[in-house]
Structure 1
Amino acid sequence: MTPPTAASWLPLSPGERAVAIEVLAHGPLSRSELARRLHLSAGSLTRLTKPLTESGLLIEAAGAGEGPAVRQGRPSQPLDIDTGSRAFIGIKITEDRVYGVVTTLRSEVVARHDRPLTTHDPAEVADLVREMTEEFGRAFPEPAGIGIGVGGRVEKRAVVVESAFLGWSDVPLAELVEERTGLPVVVENDVAALVEAEIWFGAGRGLDRFAVLTIGAGIGYGLVLGGRRVPSPEDGRDVGRRWMVSPQGPLGPDGERGSAVSFLTVPSIRYQVRAATGRDATYEEILARAAAGDPVCARVVDEAARALGVLVAQIANFAMPRKILLAGEGVGLVDVAGRVVEETVLAHRHPLADPVDLETKVSDFHDWARGAAVLAIQVLVLGPADA
């Protein structure tokens, strides 16, 4: 049987979409459990699941069912997603490389690749994405769509309005890539994409209030309320440039003193060590030297850890999330100076406040690409969230 195309699954009604998302994120689920989770009667659930099973989006999962059928002819197997029926491509564009992954419908990464980025010309970047798509297509023919994550502001999940890393302004990236690949394309800010992936398949799954703080070349922040990411016109802007930690801190890129960016980002930490020692060092080398007791590296890393503790405490105090996820290539800081982070958080919280559930995830750029693929899964399979 020919697998159903992504288009054949659309449009989904709000009720059908709710069923599909619940099974995708938490399945396989028995019908009784699915009805309980969605507060549906057995008849309503049957009405909603019928078109989903007929289209092939939902399948009867192998294994134990939910016991004897309530009435004759009622299926007893749990419902699940046919995760291997379609493949999705996720792309993360950085200043000097493009990272790509192929995922299943449940965002398991089944292939990854990266290529150097030697130009920021939008047309040539789109050409590179096409080449990577063709390479992936040899092993995974007919992917359902492409998700692209970019550090910057994105509008309508299609146009990169502003990207300081790439020097872009009003670049219609989705259109450029669609013209070259013939595939549906969704483009989003990379932090927003990572947050969506964590809501559906990661640390935020099942949580109504959840926050993500990313540390790397910049500082990113995402907030989840009611189980949904809170969109903002500030998405794509480096919030850390104006997130003040200490007026006595180092200078930031805009001349401000003591911002989160000036303390915490990988380039700032490297710059501080280079300014103090006259020698360049990688971020990993700085962390290793700090752990070994090097006084300059230890001072810079401890100051960064205190800044991180302030940010975590502020998020906990004002957003009151059930969990805060620290992600990005810069969170190795916590492995070296985790105690300093914890002490600073406690110092900036009420003595009787609940402990902060803080989870760290050292993310490489392929993880960011996976987040972009999740956007493709959401939009191309289940339709726009507000449809």
Structure 2
Amino acid sequence: MLSESERALARAVLIHGPISRSELTSRLGLSPPSLTRLVKPFLDRGLFVELDDRTDGSIGRPVRPLDVRPGLASFAGVKVAGESLYVVATDVRAGLLAYQEHALGRRDPDGVADEIAAAVRGLGVDQIAGVGVSLGGAVRDGRVEFAPFLDWTDVPFAQLVEDRLGIPVSLENDLVALAEAERWFGLGRGIPGFAVITIGAGVGYALVVNGQVVHSREAGVGLGGHIPLSTTGPVCHVGHRGCAEAMLASGSIAAQVSAALQRPLDYDDVLRLAAQGDPAATTVVDEAAAALGRFVALAVNLTLQPAVVLAGEGIGLFALAEDRVRAAIAADRDPRAEPVGLYVDESGFSAWARGAATIAIQDAVDRIRLDERAPVLLSADAGAIT
């Protein structure tokens, strides 16, 4: 396995590459000779490549940036939702190669593992080095401690999927996985601290502090969904009035407008009607936007991390009512505080699956061996799916 210095180097080139050696020495606190010694085995094993000479704006000879080798490996990511599987194939930087959605036919662990294995095989991508699976619930060491929407308790789910595919499988809470993807490859890259707030079928919250995602069993409990945001809002399914779930979940928003207009509507219908100026839809959307702004302000005020990544399949609310969201943030934020950085991930369901793939990529980095001639990012059989 890699030493701590080797692991830091691998992550720096993967996340920030192409990157010059001078920038690497600064990031890693290494002398140029030490960096040269660390880099050599990565080049020898074909993990890194040196790119063509290019100038960096300084006086002196051109630099040859380091980068990961193109086509080094592929990964799969699977987000398990209540009724669907969202499945991606990615490159080594979680760049999207393929995306599919599948209805979830079974809900028992063996049945879901069978469907995940079939979906990953169906991607048609060769040399998959690892599979990441994410779901809502508490996850630890490859086991689902509990997943309420699936009614699972203490399930060794990573092993079930790994037995079917024959390649390494990583399991993580979906919010933690999404935060890891934003931190390594997404809108949070280079930001030392930020919150992730997701809106869609539910409301989620994750946190990055000092460049690290906060890993906690609490991430699977859904506490962010019950933060109070309005004293006059609707009631959520467990009886909280005006909480984040009641104000921001797509089903709640659709139900409010459906009741007002006396006809069934889905979330997209509501956003379309609000954009057209329908009074009932506009009222509900405006209240939801104000609640989202209050949620953002609470997150940055309480964590002292003045940046937020907004994501989730319901994020169209922000585009429709951005001014109202920002006004609510300003109303609950001291004017002497740092401006809040808002970063909006509009990729919807695929963002969740890319988060799962990122967990697999992170684990693959930790499996690298530089003292062997075998493929160093892959498992036995060079990542062939069985």
What TM-score does the superposition give when structure 1 sets the normalisation length? Answer: 0.90
Pairing partner for 2:35 from 45, 61, 86: 45
CA distance in 2, matches of 1:35, 1:268: 51
Aligned ranges 1:300-311 → 2 under 5 Å: 300-311=284-295
Q: Post-superposition shift, 1:62?
A: 3.6
1:251-287 deviation per Cα after TM superposition (whole angstroms, max 9, x unaligned)? 1110121111111111111121223233111111101
Pairing partner for 1:150 from 135, 138, 143: 135
> 2:11 is matched with which residue?
21
Amino acid at match of 2:19: L
Pairing partner for 2:268 from 273, 276, 284: 284
SS in 2 for 1:235: helix
Q: Post-superposition shift, 1:299?
A: 1.3
Aligned ranges 1:212-227 → 2 under 5 Å: 212-227=196-211
> 2:213 is matched with which residue?
229
> 1:5 is matched with which residue?
none
Conservation of the 8 A alpha-carbon contact between 2:306 and 2:338: no
Unpaired stretches in structure 2, ≥5 consecutive residues: 369-386
Pairing partner for 1:379 from 341, 363, 370: 363
SS in 1 for 2:85: strand
Give the superposed CA RMSD: 2.1
Does the C-alpha gap of structure 1 residues 69 and 300 become closer, same or farther in structure 2, counting only changes over 3 Å?
A: closer
SS in 2 for 1:84: coil
Amino acid at match of 2:97: V
> 1:93 is matched with which residue?
80
Conservation of the 8 A alpha-carbon contact between 1:241 and 1:252: no
Unpaired stretches in structure 1, ≥5 consecutive residues: 1-10
CA distance in 1, matches of 2:93, 2:286: 39
SS in 1 for 2:77: strand
1:266-319 deviation per Cα after TM superposition (whole angstroms, max 9, x unaligned)? 111112122323311111110111122212111111111111111111112122
Deviates more, 1:75-84 or 1:364-373: 75-84
> 2:167 is matched with which residue?
183
Confirm whether residue 298 of structure 1 aligns to residue 298 of structure 2. Answer: no
CA distance in 1, matches of 2:158, 2:60: 48
Amino acid at match of 2:281: C
CA distance in 1, matches of 2:59, 2:259: 72
CA distance in 1, matches of 2:63, 2:260: 68
Amino acid at match of 2:322: G
Does the C-alpha gap of structure 1 residues 246 and 65 become closer, same or farther in structure 2, counting only changes over 3 Å?
A: closer
Deviates more, 1:236-245 or 1:312-321: 236-245
Confirm whether residue 122 of structure 1 aligns to residue 109 of structure 2. Answer: yes
Q: Post-superposition shift, 1:30?
A: 2.0
Give me the identity figure in percent.
45
Q: Post-superposition shift, 1:69?
A: 10
> 1:108 is matched with which residue?
95
Q: Post-superposition shift, 1:65?
A: 7.4
SS in 1 for 2:219: coil
What TM-score does the superposition give when structure 2 sets the normalisation length? Answer: 0.90
Does the C-alpha gap of structure 1 residues 80 and 297 become closer, same or farther in structure 2, counting only changes over 3 Å?
A: same
SS in 2 for 1:43: helix
Q: Post-superposition shift, 1:322?
A: 3.9
Aligned ranges 1:1-387 → 2 under 5 Å: 11-64=1-54, 77-136=64-123, 139-156=124-141, 158-383=142-367
CA distance in 2, matches of 1:34, 1:201: 18
Q: Post-superposition shift, 1:76?
A: 6.2
1:95-132 deviation per Cα after TM superposition (whole angstroms, max 9, x unaligned)? 11111111111111111222211221211111111112
> 1:4 is matched with which residue?
none
CA distance in 2, matches of 1:118, 1:319: 40
Alignment coverage as a number of residue pairs: 367
CA distance in 2, matches of 1:359, 1:76: 32
Q: Post-superposition shift, 1:383?
A: 4.6
Q: Post-superposition shift, 1:140?
A: 2.5
1:162-209 deviation per Cα after TM superposition (whole angstroms, max 9, x unaligned)? 222222222211011011110100011111111101111111111111
Conservation of the 8 A alpha-carbon contact between 1:211 and 1:221: yes
